[in-house]
Structure 1
Amino acid sequence: MSSTPRRIPIGIIGCGHGTGAFFSSLRRFPTIQAVACADSDFFRAENRAQQYSQGQATMKACSIDELLADKGISLVVNLAPARSRAGISLRILEAKKHLFSDSPLSLDLAEAAHLLEEAERRNLRIGSAPDLFLGAPLQTALALINEGSLGIPLSAHAHLSLPAPETWHPDPESFYLAGNGGGPLFDAVPPLLSALVTLLGPVAAVIGSTRTPLTERTVTSEKKQGVRIPVEVPTHVTALLDFATGAGGTLTASYDVLHHRQPALEIHGTEGSLSLATFEQGPVSLRSKDDPLWREIPPAYAEPAQSPGGIGKGIGLGDMAAALLMDKPHRASAPLALHLLDALLTLARSSEEGIRLAVGTSCSRPAPLPAGIAPGELVV
């Protein structure tokens, strides 16, 4: 890669509390030039623009209308809240700009499918989070599976228990409101499904179980400490998954687990097993059929030391920008995002109806990143 690579000029819509890590990640990718950000609250956009603007890297704060009218911006990142995300995504496509969306694309499958149709009609691309599958741990696991270290993958378990939002978020109410895209179903299940689909292929059928053990929670974060908020969504999600490849899997996503020692992911095959401590950083361990002990596997690529969240944050956008420059497919693709949403909503419906349900969509497994790449060459 040349020392002065071409860059895709991008704009970002959505500058809320949870977007800081994403903005901080943007400078790591040589394919991106972030030029503008917008939010319904202009003060938040100004704060994010100041956070990003250092040295020669500058970003302007503007209104959403101004950002969409800017002919110098060719790709827009949509970090708006889930309830309004699809509507803004449609406006982005109507403005003739490529779209990279936060997860999920929409809260409604038909609405998400319409976005894909609009993008295809306008010859535009859609990329979407979750993109943690492009981080070093999951790319290392993917390489092990692809090279046959596990033999035929048979089963998997993925687990993600997140700190309850009332313990850290200044305004946690939205996480617990029905119809708002909240709870672990929309917060934690998407990265789990993304990891499993990347490694094992598309989900064919699902049995879901969701629970709401507490109908009220007390906020302990500073801004609203002591305030009681109602809980209208499930806060503990489990599922049995059947994959089109014949493998089976389980997942658990929760706001109700205080402490645990479970790995983020384990996959078992005819010739061995692998274990990931976390999705973002940390070791990948392999134990083959005849190995007396587990052994750590070198990562697929080196994580930069200055990246406390792991290089996975924002990498899907960086990969998409590089793919646009090189006229190649990007990995965090629209068909993948649609399938993940379909599997998620089918899980929820399965829990409501108490039956096993087929997942109507499918997708291809994302292509792996090149092995041994340096942080500045992640998207080649």
Structure 2
Amino acid sequence: MGHPMTDQQILRVGVVGAGNISGAYFDTFPRLENLRVTAIADLDPARATLGAKEVPGARALTPEELYAAPDVDLVLNLTIPAAHAEVAHAAIRAGKHVYGEKPLAATTAEADTLLEAADAAGVRVGCAPDTVLGTGVQTARAVLDAGEIGAPVAATAFMVTPGHERWHPAPEFYYRPGGGPLLDMGPYYLTALITLLGPVRRVVGMSATPRGTRTIGSGPRSGTEFPVEVATHVTGVLEHENGALSTLLMSFDVWAGSLPRIEVYGTGGSLSVPDPNGFDGEVRMFRAGAKEWEPVPERGGYPGASRGYGVADLARALADGGPHRADGRLAYHVLDVMESLLAAARSGESAWVTSTCERPAAVPAGARPEAQ
């Protein structure tokens, strides 16, 4: 494990938003030596109090008290997507670093002001998903970076489901502006594609809304019908800056599919990448001239990673002065790609993606986020 970390090396975290997703972070943080949760806030004080009971050493505060707290260095923003920008701005005004759940903001216009404010304040912005820091995507990246399937030519990324209303007791927000399969699940797949192949410069797309209403399938409101206000089937092609073409399919209209999650095709072989909504999974490679796929042993990524490793990676970057991987500018580019794809689907023309980002540094095999 090495030497114990000093207080100066530990990033003190204040959590805003104590809903369902917070539990995943609270389960992870005890094994991350460079993080300590000191405060928890929620618009519902009872939830903040309950959350503080789960985390030794944390206390329940109001959001305003948390932003002002001297023992909070970073605000972990776990609020609903519509509040992401508002909470981030409040934290930045207080001089705190920010790490948030995806998306970075509801729109690129909101995200622009957020990043500008952070730059002006000299604080860092991080954003989920950090699933790409696990052994699944990072092992696939190690294969690509070593040139073992040649130069990347193309990729496919598919996420299909019949819709979240089957299991979610209040699913309406998935079918309103800001929702839909692309904005809900796209960040996982696009962050993985950009980690593997680099940023995107142009997109084409089409979308459809096959059903105008959906019916809640579980919970006390089961049987309730509600309107669909967004495209529920989105497909497109992304042209990466390196020339590779990724085909993307995101759908809430498919009952079953045997399509791969992500595959990358190169001049010398193919690569099967595990579900980017998880941190690990088997990577397989098919070499030119081979007769079958072969499993690839772990060759990169934080072993045993789970939600919160992106925060620890940011803490490590603050300590050593280097870049952090789950970066706000990467999350901005992902949001820009999604907006551009939907715009292309509406216009029937290709759309240029005006932003770009740095491809995050690879995570070495066996690395720990607090010491590399």
TM-score by structure 2 length? 0.93
Alignment correspondent of 1:174: 173
Counterparts of 1:379 and 1:264, CA distance in 2: 31
Counterparts of 2:321 and 2:101, CA distance in 1: 23
Which letter does structure 2 place at the counterpart of 1:259? A
The Cα of 1:285 is off from its aligned counterpart by 0.2
Alignment correspondent of 2:132: 133
Cα 1:169–1:365 shift into 2, 3 Å? same
Counterparts of 1:28 and 1:351, CA distance in 2: 44
Q: Does 1:20 align with 2:23?
A: yes
8 Å CA contact 2:40–2:48 kept in 1: the answer is yes
The Cα of 1:123 is off from its aligned counterpart by 0.9
Alignment correspondent of 2:325: 331
- Deviation digits for residues 317-362 of structure 1 (CA, Å, limit 9, x no counterpart): 1111111122221011122111111111111111111110100011
The Cα of 1:48 is off from its aligned counterpart by 2.7
8 Å CA contact 2:132–2:138 kept in 1: the answer is yes
Counterparts of 1:14 and 1:104, CA distance in 2: 15
Alignment correspondent of 2:268: 271
Q: Secondary structure at the match of 1:249?
A: strand
Give the stretch that moved more between structures: 350-359 or 103-112. Answer: 103-112
What aligned pairs does 1:225-244 form with structure 2 within 5 A after superposition? 225-244=222-241
Q: Secondary structure at the match of 1:93?
A: helix
Q: Which of 194, 210, 220 is matched with 1:213 structurally?
A: 210
Cα 1:302–1:190 shift into 2, 3 Å? closer
Identity %: 38
Counterparts of 1:207 and 1:8, CA distance in 2: 42
Counterparts of 1:216 and 1:17, CA distance in 2: 27
Q: Does 1:153 align with 2:152?
A: yes
Q: Which of 42, 46, 51 is matched with 2:49 structurally?
A: 46
Cα 1:37–1:165 shift into 2, 3 Å? farther
Counterparts of 1:44 and 1:173, CA distance in 2: 23
Counterparts of 2:192 and 2:49, CA distance in 1: 34
Which letter does structure 2 place at the counterpart of 1:328? G
Counterparts of 1:77 and 1:212, CA distance in 2: 35
Counterparts of 1:378 and 1:291, CA distance in 2: 40
Counterparts of 2:301 and 2:104, CA distance in 1: 30
8 Å CA contact 2:169–2:217 kept in 1: the answer is no
What aligned pairs does 1:1-380 form with structure 2 within 5 A after superposition? 2-5=2-5, 6-50=9-53, 52-53=54-55, 57-162=56-161, 164-178=163-177, 181-279=178-276, 280=278, 281-300=280-299, 311-373=305-367, 376=368, 380=372
8 Å CA contact 1:166–1:218 kept in 2: the answer is yes
The Cα of 1:135 is off from its aligned counterpart by 1.5
8 Å CA contact 2:152–2:267 kept in 1: the answer is yes
Q: Secondary structure at the match of 1:278?
A: coil
Alignment correspondent of 1:307: none
The Cα of 1:301 is off from its aligned counterpart by 5.2
The Cα of 1:302 is off from its aligned counterpart by 8.0
Which letter does structure 2 place at the counterpart of 1:351? A
Counterparts of 1:145 and 1:129, CA distance in 2: 23
Which letter does structure 1 place at the counterpart of 2:32? F
Report the count of equivalent residues. 367
Which letter does structure 1 place at the counterpart of 2:354? G
Counterparts of 2:224 and 2:46, CA distance in 1: 26
Counterparts of 2:181 and 2:66, CA distance in 1: 31
Cα 1:63–1:162 shift into 2, 3 Å? farther
Q: Secondary structure at the match of 1:99?
A: strand
The Cα of 1:169 is off from its aligned counterpart by 2.5
Q: Secondary structure at the match of 1:229?
A: strand
Which letter does structure 1 place at the counterpart of 2:2? S
8 Å CA contact 2:313–2:324 kept in 1: the answer is yes
Which letter does structure 1 place at the counterpart of 2:37? A
Cα 1:102–1:158 shift into 2, 3 Å? same
- Deviation digits for residues 351-379 of structure 1 (CA, Å, limit 9, x no counterpart): 11111010001111100111233xx5576
Counterparts of 2:340 and 2:19, CA distance in 1: 29
The Cα of 1:20 is off from its aligned counterpart by 2.8
Counterparts of 1:302 and 1:127, CA distance in 2: 18
Which letter does structure 2 place at the counterpart of 1:81? I
Which letter does structure 2 place at the counterpart of 1:267? V
8 Å CA contact 2:301–2:364 kept in 1: the answer is no
8 Å CA contact 2:95–2:123 kept in 1: the answer is yes
- Which blocks of at least 5 consecutive residues in structure 1 are unaligned? 305-309
RMSD of aligned alpha carbons: 1.9
- Which blocks of at least 5 consecutive residues in structure 2 are unaligned? none
Counterparts of 1:14 and 1:8, CA distance in 2: 19
Counterparts of 1:19 and 1:167, CA distance in 2: 23
Counterparts of 2:287 and 2:255, CA distance in 1: 33
8 Å CA contact 1:162–1:188 kept in 2: the answer is no
Counterparts of 2:281 and 2:128, CA distance in 1: 21
Which letter does structure 2 place at the counterpart of 1:126? V
TM-score by structure 1 length? 0.91
Give the stretch that moved more between structures: 61-70 or 24-33. Answer: 24-33
